[in-house]
Structure 1
Amino acid sequence: MPGEKKGQKKTEDTGPSILTGVFVFANGDKYDGEYIQEDGSIIRNGHGIHTTTDGSVYDGQWSEDKMNGQGKLTHHSGAVYTGEFVNNQFHGHGVYMWPNGSSYEGDFVENRLEGKGNFTDTENQVWTGQFRYKAAPGLQFQLRLD
């Protein structure tokens, strides 16, 4: 097609074409993935990997230049979140693992543990119930008889 760049994929609608590339931002962060170009600006859109200068890595879906959809965020501390993102926040179902080995699997609302979930402590004991940000009244211990 005239005017189409090599490696460029066309979207199904008449919107901007999805391109693939690697970019290094002024602060040293790196993005490798899909994007669109609008008014001379690069907008992350589709699948991509963003690596910060401190070593944090997001590998997942982007929309409108924000983490939106399924993805995995590995913090430089070693903490890892895998799940749903909305506008750069943990939002929906996901799993958060702390560097000490404890984890939470359940619902998130705007980066907060919010809703039904399971917390696994450092002794591999599981606590289940409703989480409300920093509180979890009435958690139930799951007894395992192995």
Structure 2
Amino acid sequence: MSETTILKIVYIFPNGDQYDGECCRTSDGVLLRKGSGTHTSASGIMYTGEWDNDKMNGRGTLTHPSGAFYSGLFRDNMYHGKGTYRFPDGTEYTGTFNNNRFEGEGEFTDSQGLVWRGMFHNKAALGLKLKVNV
């Protein structure tokens, strides 16, 4: 695939989604999202950040109408690397993600504002310790 210049576009998909940002044209004429841009789904989910190979790749923020959001690193449309995910109820995880899952060292802030630190693996978080600020 031979990439040429970065183009700035606004594109409305047949399903009502919209992309406003940078892209490139492949040698066979296909436009791929590349660079920075904002994709808004018809249901109100919005991603603003870096794109490569027509996927969320790099640093970005994904917000949901529910109030949930993720801010951090993406790889192939998934949370991957360092980031923060805030749930609609205000609870929050900050740490490492691997293919959309909590993975590695991180902190979870519960609904009372208490911060729990430890190692996370998929849905398990064994040996969490309460972080105390003195």
- TM-score, scaled to structure 2: 0.95
Q: Deviation per CA, 1:8-38: give whole Å up to 9, x if none.
A: xxxxxx8410000100001110000000112
Q: Which residue of 1 aligns with 2:114?
A: 125
Q: Does 1:37 align with 2:19?
A: no
Q: Partners of 2:65 and 2:110 in 1: how far apart? A: 21
Greater relative contact order: 1 or 2 (C-alpha under 8 angstroms, separation 6 or more)? 2
Letter paired with 1:41: V
Identity of aligned residues (%): 48
Specify the structure having the higher radius of gyration (Cα). 1
Q: Deviation per CA, 1:85-109: give whole Å up to 9, x if none.
A: 0000000000000111110000000
Q: Which residue of 2 aligns with 1:26?
A: 14
1:1-146 mapped onto 2 (5 Å cutoff): 15-38=3-26, 39-145=28-134
Q: Partners of 1:40 and 1:28 in 2: how far apart? A: 23
Structure 1 unaligned segments of length 5 or more: list them.
1-13
Aligned residues: 132
Q: Tell me if structure 1 keeps the 8 A contact 2:102–2:123.
A: yes
- TM-score, scaled to structure 1: 0.87
SS at match of 2:130: strand
SS at match of 2:24: strand
